[in-house]
Amino acid sequence: MQERLQKIIAGAGLCSRRAAEELIAQGRVTVNGEKAQIGQTADPETDCVLVDGEPLPEKKAYTYVMLNKPKGYVTTMRDDQGRPTVAELVQVQGKRLYPVGRLDMYSEGLLIMTDDGETANRLMHPSHRVEKTYIVDVVGDDLREAVYRLRQEMEIDGCKIKALDVQLIRQGGGRGQLSVTIGEGRNRQVRKMCDQCGLKLQRLVRVSEGPLELGELPRGKWRFLTPEEVKFLTAEC
């Protein structure tokens, strides 16, 4: 299958995609004996890709999992305060998996973990906009007015943001449940949006990220991603 050269080189663990582009620009990469060009593609299964005249290292087999993060766990590998971490919930023999992005201690739901640092860094970069949907339980005096305000542009931490979609799922007795879809993924963004609209957020669960869906995965459990889900994560932006 044809792929961009920088992706092939980075996928072999030689360097990052940006560094791979620099190698190509410097004329240090060849494909089937010919000097490679920026933007060129190749098939790693059939084409001979060399860097400085040497073949690429054997492609590393990365691991990708989805965790249904419970409330009360911090999204770090270790915690100086002794709080439970997501690393304690995901144990894959011989692998050290890191979270992609964050869910704060009091939030729940879909969290991707992997040992593929290149893909993780790309997905967490501010330029990578992927839709994330959250189900939130809230308390407020006028939920319909709050939903209207949530759909408008607002300023969070000095930045202009606007939700991609906000739906009122149910309400009653001053309580309600909303579906909120965003693209930016700023720090505690949904919590800050609700606070700005006069809502007290009681529970927040991330249920999807792009085409990846939490589904029926039990709280505190994890599963390996499907080949189709991995393809989404590793796809060229």
Please tell me the pTM assigned to this model: 0.78
| Residues spanned by the domain of 113 | 64-127+215-234
Give the SS3 label for residue 134: strand
d(CA 164, CA 166): 7
Q: Which residues contact 26 (CB under 8 A, 6 or more apart)?
A: none
Long-range contacts of 186-190 (CB under 8 A, 24+ apart): 186/156, 186/157, 186/159, 186/161, 187/102, 187/157, 188/104, 189/156, 189/161, 190/134, 190/136
141: annotated active-site residue: no
pLDDT value, residue 91:
87
Q: Is the pLDDT of residue 197 over 70?
A: yes
Claim to verify: residue 78 and residue 176 sit in the same structural domain: no
Claim to verify: residue 139 and residue 193 sit in the same structural domain: yes
Mean pLDDT (whole number) for 22-26 = 93
Task: List, for residues 204-213, the tens digit of each pLDDT value.
Answer: 999 999 899 9
% of the chain exceeding 90 in pLDDT: 65
Q: Are 220 and 70 in contact (CB under 8 A)?
A: yes
Claim to verify: residue 146 and residue 44 sit in the same structural domain: no
Q: Tell me, what CATH number does 145's domain have?
A: 3.30.70.1560
Claim to verify: residue 170 and residue 201 sit in the same structural domain: yes
Q: Tell me, what CATH number does 97's domain have?
A: 3.30.70.580
Count: domains in the chain? 3
DSSP one-letter code for 9: H
d(CA 206, CA 216): 13
Claim to verify: residue 119 and residue 230 sit in the same structural domain: yes
The model's confidence at residue 11, banded by pLDDT at 50, 70 and 90, is confident
pLDDT value, residue 126:
61
Claim to verify: residue 121 and residue 141 sit in the same structural domain: no
Q: Tell me, what CATH number does 51's domain have?
A: 3.10.290.10
Claim to verify: residue 147 and residue 185 sit in the same structural domain: yes
Claim to verify: residue 91 and residue 43 sit in the same structural domain: no
pLDDT value, residue 77:
87
Task: List, for residues 157-188, the tens digit of each pLDDT value.
Answer: 888 999 999 999 999 989 999 999 998 878 88
Claim to verify: residue 51 and residue 86 sit in the same structural domain: no
pLDDT value, residue 220:
96
Q: Are 201 and 149 in contact (CB under 8 A)?
A: no
pLDDT value, residue 127:
65
Catalytic residue among 43, 47, 79, 104: 104
pLDDT value, residue 122:
77
Q: Which residue has the tokens 């190509």?
A: 24
Claim to verify: residue 192 and residue 170 sit in the same structural domain: yes
Claim to verify: residue 118 and residue 169 sit in the same structural domain: no
DSSP one-letter code for 141: S
Mean pLDDT (whole number) for 181-203 = 92
- Please return the burial class of 61, using the count of CB atoms within 10 Å of its CB with bins 0-12, 13-18 and 19+: exposed
d(CA 116, CA 146): 40
pLDDT value, residue 117:
83
Mean pLDDT (whole number) for 132-147 = 94
Q: Render 20-77 in DSSP notation, one character per residue.
A: HHHHHHTT-EEETTEE--TT-EE-TTTS-EEETTEEPPPPP---EEEEEEPTT-BSSS
Nearest to 64 by CA among 108, 100, 11: 100
Claim to verify: residue 225 and residue 113 sit in the same structural domain: yes
